Every structure is written in structure tokens, then in C-alpha cells.
């Protein structure tokens, strides 16, 4: 079981449905970059109650001085990404972590950078089939779609394997 680092978007998805425990079942540890942790704190300050459960399920991982320098270089190269995604990439590379993201642009940059990335909308859900019954996975997908106001287009392949 690999350790992972998650961005705010994917943590928000699982937080909104109260299922951060699924990430803990799938990954040895779930880390967050300092920028992601700050984003979570801001969300909590404006009243998002799901943040408390997320904070309990993740471990913040600080950046070293050299990782901060790498962050600066990547921030210049990829201005389309937020600081949370870039810090996550730097930490993923340094600590050999799997990157969990829902962001299409972050996934593309992850591929360019030869990082292992996993998105909820397809890859993660296929992995989740190992620990959830088909019925539980179908309910989970419905709940994500409803509470995260999204549509998971790959439902058929996810549910039918």
C-alpha cells in the first residue's frame, strides 16, 4: 500500500461526503503540502464543516529549503497551477508519493514531470472497487455527484470493470 499526497480538490470531494476514511483505507498515509493545509484552514474559517474530518485524516508534510527552491522553479514553469498542486508535486517527487488530484491541468503536468498521479473520476474509483461492494461504490459515486456538484462520466466502466 503506497503513501499519497492529496490536493485540496480531492480532499474537498471526500470531505463533503464524510468519507476521508476511504483514502486511509487505500493508502498507507495521506499527506498534504503546506499550501493545501493553509487552503483547508481558510475553508474552515469561512464555515465549511467538512474540513475538521479531513484535517484528522491527513498529515502535513513540510518543505525543505531545497524543496522550496524547486517549488519556485516549477511555479514559474507552470503558472496555470496553484501553489498546493506544485508543492504536492515537489513533495511527491522527494518522498516517492502518489499524487491524488481531480485537476486535469495538474494531472497533465504530473505526466510531464513523470509523477504518478491518480484522479478520482476514473483511476481512484477503479482502485476503490477492491474495498467496496459494487452497490457501495455506486452509492458513493451518486453521493459525490450530488454533494460535489459534479458528474462522473466514466461511471459505466468504473462499476462494470
At 101 the pLDDT is: 83
Mean pLDDT of the chain: 85
Contact predicate 44/12, CB 8 Å = no
CA dist 8 to 89, 103, 120, 132, 141, Å? 13, 10, 13, 24, 19
pLDDT over 60 at 30, yes or no: yes
Per-residue model confidence as pLDDT tens digits over 85-109: 999 999 999 999 988 887 777 777 7
At 59 the pLDDT is: 94
At 115 the pLDDT is: 65
At 123 the pLDDT is: 53
Indicate whether this model's pTM tops 0.75: yes
Neighbour order of strands in the sheet with 117-118: 59-60, 30-32, 4-6, 98-100, 117-118
| Domains by residue range for the chain, with CATH | 4-124 (3.40.50.1010)
Binned at pLDDT 50, 70 and 90, residue 128 comes out as low
Share of the chain above pLDDT 70, in %: 87
Amino acid at each position: 500500500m503506497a503513501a499519497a499526497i492529496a490536493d485540496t480538490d480531492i480532499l474537498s470531494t471526500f470531505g463533503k461526503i464524510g468519507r476521508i476514511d476511504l483514502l486511509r483505507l487505500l493508502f498507507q498515509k495521506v499527506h498534504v503540502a503546506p499550501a493545501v493545509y493553509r487552503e483547508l484552514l481558510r475553508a474552515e474559517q469561512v464555515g465549511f464543516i467538512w474540513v475538521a474530518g479531513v484535517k484528522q485524516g491527513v498529515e502535513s508534510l513540510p518543505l525543505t529549503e531545497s524543496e522550496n527552491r524547486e517549488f519556485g522553479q516549477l511555479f514559474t514553469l507552470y503558472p496555470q497551477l496553484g501553489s498546493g498542486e506544485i508543492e504536492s508535486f515537489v513533495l511527491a517527487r522527494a518522498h516517492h508519493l502518489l499524487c491524488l488530484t481531480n485537476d486535469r491541468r495538474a494531472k497533465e503536468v504530473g505526466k510531464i514531470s513523470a509523477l504518478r498521479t491518480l484522479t478520482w473520476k476514473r483511476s481512484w474509483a477503479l482502485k476503490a472497487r477492491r474495498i467496496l461492494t459494487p452497490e457501495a461504490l455506486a452509492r458513493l459515486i451518486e453521493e459525490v455527484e450530488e454533494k460535489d456538484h459534479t458528474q462522473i462520466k466514466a461511471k459505466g466502466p468504473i462499476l462494470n470493470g
